[in-house]
Copies of this chain bind each other. A is one copy, B any other.
Amino acid sequence: MAQRITQQQWRRWTDWPLAGLAVVFLIAYSWEVIGELRGTARDVSEVFEWIGWTAFAIDYVVSLALARPRWRWFYTHLIDLAIVALPILRPLRLLRVASAFILLQRHAGTQFRGRIVVFAVGGAALLVYVASLAELEAEYGHGGRIQTIGDALWWAIVTITTVGYGDVTPVTVIGKLVAVCLMFGGVALIGVVTATLASWIVERVSEEEQAEEQVITALQFEELREEIRALRHQLEKAAETPEE
């Protein structure tokens, strides 16, 4: 019956609260990683992380329960299960912040290319920040040269732009996995920047040329058809007139 809620309804109800929780989670996580908090402050930030984790876990279980067909959803969302279940993938929980970002963007409602630019700038900034946090947590105290959030941010920007000086590099396995994500993020960033510029230049150049040589449009075509129809009616009348 109509009493049963669907997965879509669940999504609509929980999207914004979960996005908010993701931002809170990001702040708590930042606080913990950057500030190396001790005592009460650390407890508070851990409480927020646990609230975030609990909310994501409940969301996973409810989404799975509401999904139709359930097994297909399970197979296509194994990554969600891994993020919730494996403590080592904790940084990936920050990806929920990305969903907050995507939600915001969907409600911005601008032109397609404008949205691409917002997505590239915001996505790159978020990726750099989250990767820096995760990198700092992974590398801190393991003998590498990434020991402050400043080092981590510097390293992340050197990596995402594919400059890669090599003055600061990760030495742990998790640190290197985070680096790999940033590197491919960098290739994607170059791709998006270039492609958006290319699209814009192609359009501007073709506009410059269309002033000279304009392609026929559907509107002009309709004008022509109207002309021919008028001609036809005139001919019909002319064919009737001599009979009188």
Contacts and interface: CB of A to CB of B under 8 A. Distances in A.
Interface of A: 111-113, 116, 150, 154, 157-159, 161-167, 169, 173, 176, 180, 183-184, 186-205, 208, 213-221, 223-225, 227-232, 234-239, 241-243
Nearest to A229: B227
Given A164-B164, A187-B189, A239-B241, 10 more contacts: A111-B208, A112-B205, A112-B208, A190-B194, A194-B198, A195-B201, A218-B220, A220-B221, A228-B228, A241-B243
Find the residue from A161, A167, A194, A216 having the highest chain B CB count within 10 A. Answer: A161
B227 A228 contact: yes
A190 B189 contact: no
Contacts of A215: 215-218
Contact of A169 (B111, B167, B218): B167
B195 A197 contact: yes
Contacts of A203: 205
Contact of A113 (B162, B201, B239): B201
A193 B191 contact: yes
Nearest to A159: B163
A154 B176 contact: yes
A1 B97 CA distance: 53
A105 to B, nearest CB: 15
A158 B183 CA distance: 7
Contacts of A176: 154
A213 B203 CA distance: 14
A199 B167 CA distance: 37
